[in-house]
Structure 1
């Protein structure tokens, strides 16, 4: 006695089986990711689990689950049954990926593993890549690293490229940063007064942190060090070093300090010179210039 299922054409039965397998794979992936997200949000694991590695692992788990689902689908297709069994057993996974994927894609995946394993940077770190791209690491996927710059643009950098370039990490092991505030003053300036003003204005900034050692504190060393670093053509360069607890606060500290120091210098009558040039002509040079100009009617 034939069942209702036997009366359905074989092509439709195969399609129904394939759709059912992929739906199950999608449900399994949703459940597993939901469990991981709940564990991530719990206070018990937030402090001990690296967010970068966790996000990378979630993507890898999704790839594995859907890979198994695709392998199960292939086993129901007669022409691809051998490939499906190989994919499920794992014996032919590397061969299959190596044959279907390009070398660049594989390189990005391997580089992503290296980034997560060796941790040159993590999600949330502020980095500069090759001295060109600066921003905060927003995500690390199997293929690329996503960096958000100060203008809220997303810079997409392949993992293979970023793993081989020079990366400056402002948050690696220590987020504190030292900013340089440099100002030029005139040669007639009272240097002691100008240096004292710079120390006072920078030291009053709320973002400044005290990086002095215990020995320096006992010796009453200044919180902000100001030194003469150059005798230029038209000015004397004063340089101050100031510490902040993060690059963002350091940028604010530097910008505000320039404004505050300029205001105090103006009040004290301290000049910040700018380059000036005086051009003198030899006697008769102007007349000769006019005589050589055929468009000048005054000549001749």
Structure 2
């Protein structure tokens, strides 16, 4: 005796089954992602929580759920039944991926797992890759790492490449940064006054943080250390060590300090040397070049 379902055309039954499987797959993915998002929102109340793992896990779980859904759909299509069973049972998945995708793509996925597991950097960290690309890690996908630079460009670096490169992480374990502020002054300038001005101007900047030890504070050591680091051909190089609580604040501290130092040096009559050239001709005339690329003047 035939049931009512047996009287339905086979093509319509197949479409109904496929639609049901797709619907269950989408619903399951939505439910799991919603749970993870709720967990992420509750954990974000803590500043120490790492969002990288959950974001990467959402993409991985979605890939698995849709993979299972696609496999279930393929088992109901006679021509693709073998492929569907392979996806569902897990047998031959790596072979299938290796056959359908390139070795580089598979390497990117594995490297993505390594980045999330060993955590050389996390989302929100400021990194420099091979000395060429500097920016903030915006996202880590199964295939690539996305870095946003200072100009708001997105630098897309494959996971397999970034995992084999030298990465400088400004936020790894400690966000504080020390900026080196160097200024050259003329040999005829007052050296002690110039060093005093550097200490005063940098110390009063609101973004500077005090990195002195208890012993240094007790001994009344200056907040900013200034030393002579070189005696050049035309200038004495002074270097100050200035600390900030983040790379962004450190950059602002450094830029503001150069402006303030230039202003104070001008007021105090402290010279900041620049290149000067004198060219003599056979007829006795001379040309003075104040700086490379500047306008020249003749003096006879």
TM-score (norm 1): 0.90
1:225 aligned residue? 225
- Number of residues paired by the alignment? 286
> What SS does the corresponding residue of 1:109 show, helix, strand or coil?
helix
Q: How far off its partner does 1:15 sit? A: 2.2
Are 1:107 and 2:107 an aligned pair?
Answer: yes
> What SS does the corresponding residue of 1:91 show, helix, strand or coil?
coil
> What SS does the corresponding residue of 1:183 show, helix, strand or coil?
strand
> What SS does the corresponding residue of 1:187 show, helix, strand or coil?
coil
1:12 aligned residue? 12
**RMSD of equivalent CA atoms:** 1.9
Instruction: Give the conservation status (yes or no) of the 8 Å contact 2:59–2:142.
Output: yes
Residues 250-259 or 14-23, more deviating: 14-23
Q: 1:127-276 counterparts in 2 under 5 A?
A: 127-276=127-276
Instruction: Give the conservation status (yes or no) of the 8 Å contact 2:43–2:49.
Output: no
Structure 1 segments (4+ residues) deviating >3 Å: 1-9, 43-49, 282-286
Q: How far off its partner does 1:60 sit? A: 0.5
Instruction: Give the conservation status (yes or no) of the 8 Å contact 2:182–2:240.
Output: yes
Provide structure 1 residue ranges, at least 5 long, that are not aligned to the other structure. Answer: 287-300
Instruction: Give the conservation status (yes or no) of the 8 Å contact 1:21–1:72.
Output: yes
Distance 2:285 2:199 in 1: 51
Instruction: Give the conservation status (yes or no) of the 8 Å contact 2:177–2:243.
Output: yes
Residues 276-285 or 220-229, more deviating: 276-285
Distance 1:81 1:250 in 2: 60
Q: Which has the larger strand fraction?
A: 2
> What SS does the corresponding residue of 1:97 show, helix, strand or coil?
helix
Q: How far off its partner does 1:85 sit? A: 1.8
Distance 2:181 2:15 in 1: 69
Distance 2:11 2:98 in 1: 31
Q: How far off its partner does 1:149 sit? A: 0.7
> What SS does the corresponding residue of 1:37 show, helix, strand or coil?
helix
Deviations 1:242-265 (CA, angstroms, capped at 9, x unpaired): 000100000000000001111111
Q: 1:41-80 counterparts in 2 under 5 A?
A: 41-43=41-43, 46=46, 49-80=49-80
Are 1:279 and 2:286 an aligned pair?
Answer: no
Distance 1:217 1:284 in 2: 62
Distance 1:55 1:250, change over 3 A: same
2:294 aligned residue? none
Deviations 1:138-174 (CA, angstroms, capped at 9, x unpaired): 1100000011111111111000000001110000011
Provide structure 2 residue ranges, at least 5 long, that are not aligned to the other structure. Answer: 287-300
Distance 1:64 1:45, change over 3 A: farther
TM-score (norm 2): 0.90
Distance 1:94 1:45 in 2: 39
